């Protein structure tokens, strides 16, 4: 099961962001557009998590967290395949991990 990564865009100022909000974090305009991302982006940072912060994530540890700069201009935190490095082109979608929908990236 996988789904597109979604983001939002402000109509007046064109600012884009990842976490769902009811208003633009930059200019405060309401009713942002909800859009589907291509899933393409570049790795900005990588963290290997050895100790899972919650019991349901323990089964997955160690796992790789990445900060990804999406081609659409927003940045998000996601899970990724082991071995990803800063600067890698990646493609991602939302998958189910430990029972929750989580964005996941692999090398493009």
Region from 9-17, 33-41, 67-75, 91-99 binding Zn ion, contact rule CB under 5 A: 9-17
Order the strands of the 6-9 sheet from edge to edge: 16-17, 6-9, 33-36
Phi, psi of 55 (to 5 degrees): -55, -40
The C-alpha atoms of residue 5 and residue 87 are separated, in whole angstroms, by 20
x/- track of binding to Zn ion for residues 23-62 (CB under 5 A): -x-xx-x---------------------------------
9 binds Zn ion (CB under 5 A): no
Contacts with Zn ion by CB under 5 A lie at 10, 13, 15, 24, 26-27, 29
């Amino acid at each position: 099961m996988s789904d597109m990564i979604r983001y939002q865009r402000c109509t007046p100022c064109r600012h884009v962001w990842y976490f769902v909000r009811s208003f633009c974090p930059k200019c405060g305009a309401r009713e942002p557009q909800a859009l589907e991302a291509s899933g393409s982006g570049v790795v900005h940072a990588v963290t290997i998590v050895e100790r899972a912060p919650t019991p349901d994530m323990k089964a997955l540890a160690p796992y790789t967290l990445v900060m990804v700069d999406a081609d659409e201009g927003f940045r998000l935190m996601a899970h990724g395949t082991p071995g990803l490095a800063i600067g890698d082109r990646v493609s991602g979608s939302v998958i189910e991990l430990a029972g929750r929908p989580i964005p996941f990236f692999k090398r493009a």
